Amino acid sequence: MSRLLFPDTFKWGAATSAYQIEGAWNEDGRGPSIWDYFTRKPGCIEDGSSGDIACDHYHRWQDDIALMKDLGLQTYRFSIAWSRIMPDGRNSINQAGLDFYSRLVDMLLEQNIQPFATLYHWDLPQALQDTGGWPDRSTAEAFVTYADIVSRHLGDRVKQWITHNEPWCISFLGYQKGSKAPGMQDWTAALAASHHVLLSHGWAVPVIRQNSPQAEVGITLNFNPAVPASPSVADRDAARQHDGYFNRWFLDPLYGRQYPADMITTYTEADYLPTDHIPFIQDGDFSAIAVPTDFLGVNYYNRIIVRDESLPEQQNLPRTNFLAPKDEWTDMGWEVYPQGLYELLMRLHFEYQPGKLYITENGASYGDAPNGDKQIHDLRRTNYLRNHFIAAHQAIESGVPLAGYFVWSLMDNFEWEQGYTQRFGIVWVDYTTQERILKNSAIWYRNVITTNTVDTN
Ligand code: IFM
């Protein structure tokens, strides 16, 4: 066994998001969000649940910070619920909402835990969806007002800001596939949504900088590296398309390259976009989107093997067998592939040069439950994290400016359309009593943080 030492300045943390943990959905002036509506639609959530109560973090935040302290977290990534701050999304300000996050930030700082705030983690105020949601440009304008208000109130203490979490999910899962709120299925709307999310990021960055001097400001993307299932031209082309849809569509405009031309062709040929001009793009948008940022947040869980099964001759080609055995997949059905994190970080560093990167989410859903002694032997999660930490270390050794790592998630929580059927936490939550129990992976992680090292077996 050997031990890999991380840089002295490296920050270890854990992440959560507002709707997934807070509960208190209708308290202290919070307005409804698209998730309050979506969870009430029959059939949208696997176990019929919602985030109405979730982990009750809104009432238990002090205990939860004590838990973070006990784990030795150096930084904590949380998100702010827009509709707690602005119940109708664009006009009135709810002081109680601001006060909640202000107290949270103060206590984090008292405990020497660096607050890392995400402004938007999917919970759009329903009032904004009612006026068109992200496909409508006015939502991007509303986001800037919201970002201004929050950063004016917290910007003296919060020095790390993420504008958006996972624009791909916001746009394509929310408006094209419809598996997430608001549950629409419309390609053109999804493409407009993606543009307005990026635009709102570009507009908000200078505002946050103004209100929060010396802060680092960035955006978090989720990545899904695409690998062709065979060397055939068709499979390679399918992998290119998936990469364009999922990864390049966001990376390219953020780093000054506008939308990838091959994807514009795909979308116009499919009639999702008109051929002459794209109505939602206005003069100046691309330079706004490409505003320089201080870091790129990277969410990585798995890669995807892409096949083109449309051609009959494709069916008989030899397939590369590099899928991990199914019993090593996580409960989400996601392959465990730590090497993909190394490859992704190298690609981002060499192709886009973000200057600084954080892993803003990485983790695994496994259902291991407490035994009679209230111990949770989640060895698969520890192994998952260990192997991804090793991959991150390898990337640092290769020159990638990776500055920190947030495990997803601090605690089990509401996993969107899967409800409470998936447990990503390093801390177990008993949803009946709201008891929190450290899983073995949390105890192991505490040792990683204390020693700033990871063992290699
Ligand atoms: O729980 C989600 C999180 O909200 C966003 N990234 C992926 C996680 C696991 O699905």
pLDDT, position 312:
75
Whole-number Å distance between alpha carbons of 117 and 98: 13
CA 101 to ligand 1 center in whole angstroms: 21
What is the tens place of the pLDDT at every residue in 369-385?
A: 999 999 999 999 999 99
- Residue 309 annotated as catalytic: no
- Mean pLDDT, to the nearest integer, of 335-348? 96
CA 48 to ligand 1 center in whole angstroms: 18
CA 338 to ligand 1 center in whole angstroms: 17
Task: Please report the atom of ligand 1 found closest to the CA of residue 416.
Answer: 1
- Mutational test site, ligand 1, from 46, 416, 423, max ligand atoms within 8 Å of CB: 416
Check if the beta carbon of residue 433 is closer than 8 Å to that of residue 375. no
Nearest CA owner, ligand 1 atom 1: 415
- Mutational test site, ligand 1, from 179, 408, 421, 426, max ligand atoms within 8 Å of CB: 408
Assess whether pLDDT exceeds 70 at residue 320.
Answer: no
Assess whether pLDDT exceeds 80 at residue 322.
Answer: no
Pocket of ligand 1 (CB under 6 A): 17, 20, 166, 299, 361, 408, 415, 424
Q: Considering the candidates 22, 216, 335, 361, report the single residue annotated as catalytic.
A: 361
From residue 268, alpha-carbon distances to 265, 272, 273, 276, 339 in Å are: 5, 6, 5, 9, 35
Task: Find all residues with CB under 8 Å of 133, minimum gap 6, and list them.
Answer: 34, 124, 139, 174, 175, 182, 184, 193
Whole-number Å distance between alpha carbons of 84 and 209: 23
Q: Residue 82 is encoded by which pair of tokens?
A: 């827009």
For the chain, which residues make up each domain, given as ranges?
Answer: 3-455
What is the tens place of the pLDDT at every residue in 395-420?
A: 999 999 999 999 999 999 999 999 99
Whole-number Å distance between alpha carbons of 363 and 101: 25
Question: pLDDT over 90 for what percent of the chain?
Answer: 92
- Residue 397 annotated as catalytic: no
CA atoms within 13 A on the CB side of 296: 26
Q: Alpha-carbon torsion 105, 30, 137, 348, what sign?
A: positive
Task: Please report the atom of ligand 1 found closest to the CA of residue 408.
Answer: 8
Helix or strand (DSSP H, E) at 397: helix 379-397
Q: Does domain 3-455 have CATH number 3.30.70.890?
A: no
Nearest CA owner, ligand 1 atom 4: 17
With 0-12 / 13-18 / 19 or more C-beta atoms within 10 angstroms meaning exposed / middle / buried, residue 323 is middle
User: How confident is residue 321, by pLDDT bands cut at 50, 70 and 90?
Assistant: low
Full-model pTM:
0.97
Whole-number Å distance between alpha carbons of 442 and 448: 10
Whole-number Å distance between alpha carbons of 296 and 389: 18
Nearest CA owner, ligand 1 atom 10: 415
Whole-number Å distance between alpha carbons of 96 and 175: 31
**30 phi, psi to nearest 5 deg:** -65, 135
